[in-house]
Structure 1
Amino acid sequence: MKLGIGTAQFGLNYGVNNKNGIPDLDEIRRILDIARGNNIKKIDTAMSYGDAHIKLGKAGVQDFEIGSKIPRVEGDTKKEIRTFVINNVERTLAELRIDSIHRIFLHNHKDYNIHKEAIQEAIGELKNSGKVYQFGVSMYRPNDIIKAAEDKQLDVFQVPINILDRSFEMAGFIEHAIKNKKIIQARSVFLQGLLLKDLDKLGSHFEKWQDIFEQLEDEAKERNMTRKELALSYILDQNIESFVIGIETSRQLKELIVALERLSATRQKKYPHFKVDEDLINPTKWPR
């Protein structure tokens, strides 16, 4: 299954539509057991997700393909940056209680452009020692990044893709990356939960885009779907390796699996384009 378990909610009150809060360790274990039983192999996490690493380590994740993220790189010299990267990966392995990790991302891709040589050296050492299998960057917007798809040191890119935000596709990045044999993993499938929010509870910041959400609702109804199913249908039709969705409860994961299995048999292919702007599709511009 292309679905990967997002774990920001395991350590943070994350997402604008999070109604359940942070799951406890028993609930996390139930989520992981359901994932195992449904061929869901990927878990996405990060050091910045509160105590998500610690909880995952206690729950046991040795049989999953883990992807985690290095926080904003610190250091002035090449030696300091190399040490920072290696130490963060070592800490990640220790907290997750694993010997090696499938993927390590830089949480901010700009760090790679600034400190490329030192980071490449550190990652090369980690790969050679068998502690890291793939290295990539987490990207936010597609501005001036086409050349990143040609970088031989980068294996995988994690980017936001959803039915409203097609910026990486429109910029030609996804097609170019795949041509260069790179892996694309999508996140923000529900735009941090915004696509699932009740229309009468969008809040003052999002009210000016009410018409877009009503268009989404109408489009879903025409297809006999919910907005959630429409968003899932869209991501299933994208040329990507996998997609990450944040999970709060075991019940939520069960419902998601049922919806994905049903939608996989009824592909839609064509989707309308919605006129959106950066303030809507970029969560970094939302009020905190």
Structure 2
Amino acid sequence: MKLALGTVQFGLNYGIANSSGQVDIEQVQQILNVARKSGITTLDTAIAYGNSEQCLGQVGIDSFHIISKLPPLPENVEVQTWVETQIQSSLQRLNIKQLDGLLLHRALDIVGESGAELQQALQDAVEQGWTKAVGISIYDPSELDQIVNVWKPDLIQSPLNVFDQRLIQSGWLKKLADLGVRIHTRSTFLQGLLLMPLENIPEYFLPWHEQLQNWHYWCIRQDINPLQAAFAFLNQISEVESIVVGVDTASQLQQILQDSKKQIDIDWHQWAISDKTLIEPSRWKINK
């Protein structure tokens, strides 16, 4: 199964469509039970996701493959010691012996001032058996222009959705696949924006009202819901190994499982939007 479960909501109050706040531990247990039964095998987390790792370790995740992320590399640290300390603390919180993947939350650290030491520390982490693979989490495929000629990751995680098609349009999706790099995608629903009813969309998004309205009207004409449509876009991209989605409740996950298999053969390029103030949630200015 291509679906992987994102866990930022387990440690933080996250997402513009999230009205219930951080997910409590009983609901986390229910979500993971549904994930297990449905065949989801990968959980995506990060040291920076509040107490997400601790929460996962508390409920028990032995049956899952875990991807976690190192926080940005601080200045003036001994890199090898810092990386080892971060990984060991992460494994302890998660209550596991090995990660399936370890990513850098700030990808450009790998080519920064301490890039060579960081590359060596990540290689050592694989050799020590602390993680099976190492890689980077990117926010813009242009970051790869600076990285891949210097250091080849085993795994990358990138935003990719029907509005944000930069990974495809830049040519990097094909290049990474040709290099044998595993590709995980996130921001499947653009932090929930693609699924929100038009009347609930915050004022910040008024400049793109026409695109959002067209998206919803197109879904109606296709006789599908926006969730099915968001997955239909990703389902036709064979290079993607895992599609990371986050949920607040077990019922949300059940709905996603039900609607995630849709296939639609159209030219998806028509929906691509290049405006970073829309497709990069870190730029959004919203009062929740």
Identity of aligned residues (%): 29
1:76-155 alignment, distance < 5 Å: 76=76, 80-114=78-112, 115-143=114-142, 145-146=144-145, 148-150=147-149, 153-155=152-154
1:270 pairs with 2:251:
no
Residue 150 of structure 1 deviates from its aligned partner by 4.8
1:230-269 alignment, distance < 5 Å: 230-238=229-237, 239-261=239-261, 263=262, 266-269=263-266
Shift in alpha-carbon separation, 1:150–1:177, aligned structure 2, 3 A:
farther
SS of 2:203's partner is coil
2:227 aligns to what? Answer: 228
Letter in 1 for 2:89: R
Kept in 2, the 8 Å contact 1:149–1:176? The answer is: no
CA distance in 1, matches of 2:171, 2:152: 20
1:164 aligns to what? Answer: 163
Kept in 1, the 8 Å contact 2:164–2:273? The answer is: no
Kept in 1, the 8 Å contact 2:31–2:249? The answer is: yes
Kept in 2, the 8 Å contact 1:150–1:177? The answer is: no
CA distance in 2, matches of 1:113, 1:147: 7
> What TM-score does the superposition give when structure 2 sets the normalisation length?
0.94
CA distance in 2, matches of 1:146, 1:219: 35
Greater Cα shift, 121-130 or 164-173: 121-130
CA distance in 2, matches of 1:101, 1:164: 31
Residue 247 of structure 1 deviates from its aligned partner by 1.4
Shift in alpha-carbon separation, 1:130–1:147, aligned structure 2, 3 A:
same
Query: For each residue in 1:1-60, what CA deviation from the matched residue of structure 2 results, as whole angstroms up to 9, or x when unmatched?
Result: 100111010011100001232222121111111111111001000111111111100111
Kept in 2, the 8 Å contact 1:149–1:173? The answer is: no
CA distance in 2, matches of 1:144, 1:105: 14
1:62-81 alignment, distance < 5 Å: 62-76=62-76, 80-81=78-79
Letter in 1 for 2:51: D
1:42-81 alignment, distance < 5 Å: 42-76=42-76, 80-81=78-79
Shift in alpha-carbon separation, 1:103–1:247, aligned structure 2, 3 A:
same
Greater Cα shift, 148-157 or 93-102: 148-157
Query: For each residue in 1:116-148, what CA deviation from the matched residue of structure 2 results, as whole angstroms up to 9, or x when unmatched?
Result: 211121112211111110001000012252363
Kept in 1, the 8 Å contact 2:106–2:136? The answer is: yes
CA distance in 2, matches of 1:18, 1:234: 23
Kept in 2, the 8 Å contact 1:237–1:269? The answer is: no
CA distance in 1, matches of 2:272, 2:87: 40
Letter in 2 for 1:284: S
Shift in alpha-carbon separation, 1:224–1:149, aligned structure 2, 3 A:
farther
1:4 pairs with 2:4:
yes
Kept in 1, the 8 Å contact 2:111–2:147? The answer is: no
SS of 2:271's partner is coil
> What TM-score does the superposition give when structure 1 sets the normalisation length?
0.94
Shift in alpha-carbon separation, 1:29–1:175, aligned structure 2, 3 A:
same
CA distance in 2, matches of 1:279, 1:218: 23
CA distance in 2, matches of 1:23, 1:275: 31
Output the aligned Cα RMSD. 1.5
Residue 267 of structure 1 deviates from its aligned partner by 3.9
Shift in alpha-carbon separation, 1:147–1:48, aligned structure 2, 3 A:
closer
Residue 151 of structure 1 deviates from its aligned partner by 5.2
Query: For each residue in 1:50-92, what CA deviation from the matched residue of structure 2 results, as whole angstroms up to 9, or x when unmatched?
Result: 1111110011112211001100111326xx1221111111111
1:39 aligns to what? Answer: 39
Letter in 1 for 2:222: R
SS of 1:205's partner is helix
1:207-222 alignment, distance < 5 Å: 207-222=206-221
Letter in 2 for 1:44: D
Shift in alpha-carbon separation, 1:144–1:129, aligned structure 2, 3 A:
closer
Structure 1 alignment gaps of length 5 or more: none
